[in-house]
C-alpha cells in the first residue's frame, strides 16, 4: 500500500515498489552489476569510500542534451530503464543517469553532503529508490541545523526537490540495527560538463595516479 509524504523540499512515497518486486530487483542488481570500490590517496594514506558504486547513463555522448560527463557511465540496462519510466509516472523529469550505491552492511555509509555539483545544474531534482534493508536517512538544514529523520524501506521512493541541495545536506549513517545489504538508486540529470571530473573521482573512479577503482566480486 502506497503512502505519500510531501513537503517543499522532498516527497517520500512509501511502498512505491511492491515488496516482492523490490527484493527481486535487489537480487538482480546484486548479481548482475560489477560493483566498484572507489578509493583515493590522502597524505596519511589510501581512503576507500565506505560503500560500493556503479553509474549508468545514456549512450549518445555526441548529444550535449543527453550527457554531461568527461567520463562515461555504463549504458542503461533494461531493468533501470523500466524503473526510470515508473518513477516518471509520479514525477516527470528527464533523468539521464543513475548512480547506484551498494551498502554491504550496517558499517557502510555516506557522510553529510549536498548533491550540488555544477554539472547537475542550479536546482537539481534527485529521485532515490531504496532496495533491501531499511536505513535511516537524515536531512540537516545548513543554517538552522534542524535535522529531519526518516526510514527508507525496501521499495520506497524519495525525491529531493530543487532547493533541497542548496538549503539542506543529507547522510546515511552507520547502523547497528539494520545490518543487511541495501542498494540505493539515485536518478539524476546532468546538464553540463563543468565539475563532472571531481564527481567521478569520488563516486565512480577513473585511471589517475591519486585514484583507483577495484571491481567487487
Which whole number is the average pLDDT over 53-76? 64
Chain center to CA of 159: 11
- How would residue 69 be classed by pLDDT, with cut points 50, 70 and 90? low
DSSP letter string over 31-66? HHS--EEEEEEETTEEEE-SSEEEEEE-S-TT-TTS
Residue 28 has pLDDT above 60, yes or no: yes
Is 204 exposed, middle or buried, given 0-12, 13-18 or 19+ CB atoms closer than 10 A? buried
Scanning the structure block, which residue is given the C-alpha cell 510531501?
A: 6
Work out the mean pLDDT of the chain and round it to a whole number: 84
- Are 144 and 92 within 8 A, CB to CB? no
Domain 3-34+50-206 falls in which CATH fold?
Jelly Rolls (2.60.120)
- How would residue 47 be classed by pLDDT, with cut points 50, 70 and 90? confident
- Determine the pLDDT at residue 11: 95
- Are 208 and 141 within 8 A, CB to CB? no
- How would residue 104 be classed by pLDDT, with cut points 50, 70 and 90? very high
- Determine the pLDDT at residue 78: 92
Secondary structure letter of residue 118 according to DSSP: G
C-alpha cell at 109: 555509509
Question: How far is Cα 86 from Cα 129, in angstroms, rounded to an integer?
Answer: 11
Residue 197 has pLDDT above 80, yes or no: no
- Determine the pLDDT at residue 3: 81
The DSSP bridge partners found for residue 152 are 135
- Are 68 and 191 within 8 A, CB to CB? yes
- Determine the pLDDT at residue 180: 95
Residue 185 has pLDDT above 80, yes or no: yes
- Are 3 and 157 within 8 A, CB to CB? no
- Determine the pLDDT at residue 60: 53
Which whole number is the average pLDDT over 149-161? 96
Chain center to CA of 98: 7
More confidently predicted of 121 and 29: 29
Residue 34 has pLDDT above 70, yes or no: yes
Amino acid at each position: 500500500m502506497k503512502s505519500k509524504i510531501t513537503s517543499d523540499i522532498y516527497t517520500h512515497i512509501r511502498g512505491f515498489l511492491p515488496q516482492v518486486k523490490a527484493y527481486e530487483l535487489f537480487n538482480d542488481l546484486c548479481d548482475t552489476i560489477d560493483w566498484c570500490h572507489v578509493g583515493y590517496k590522502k597524505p596519511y594514506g589510501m581512503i576507500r569510500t565506505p560503500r560500493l558504486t556503479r553509474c549508468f547513463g545514456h549512450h549518445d555522448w555526441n548529444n550535449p542534451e543527453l550527457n554531461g560527463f568527461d567520463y562515461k557511465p555504463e549504458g542503461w540496462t533494461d531493468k533501470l530503464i523500466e524503473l526510470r519510466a515508473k518513477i516518471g509516472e509520479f514525477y516527470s523529469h528527464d533523468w539521464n543517469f543513475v548512480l547506484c550505491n551498494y551498502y554491504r552492511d550496517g558499517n557502510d555509509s555516506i557522510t553529510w553532503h549536498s548533491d550540488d555539483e555544477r554539472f547537475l545544474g542550479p536546482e537539481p531534482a534527485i529521485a532515490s529508490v531504496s532496495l533491501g534493508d531499511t536505513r535511516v536517512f537524515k536531512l540537516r538544514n545548513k543554517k538552522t541545523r534542524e535535522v529531519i529523520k526518516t526510514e527508507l524501506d525496501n521499495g520506497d521512493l524519495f525525491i529531493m526537490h530543487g532547493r533541497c541541495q542548496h538549503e539542506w545536506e543529507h547522510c546515511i549513517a552507520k547502523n547497528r540495527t539494520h545490518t543487511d545489504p541495501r542498494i540505493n538508486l539515485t536518478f539524476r540529470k546532468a546538464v553540463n560538463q563543468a565539475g563532472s571530473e571531481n564527481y567521478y573521482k569520488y563516486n565512480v573512479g577513473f585511471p589517475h595516479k591519486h585514484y583507483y577503482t577495484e571491481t567487487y566480486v
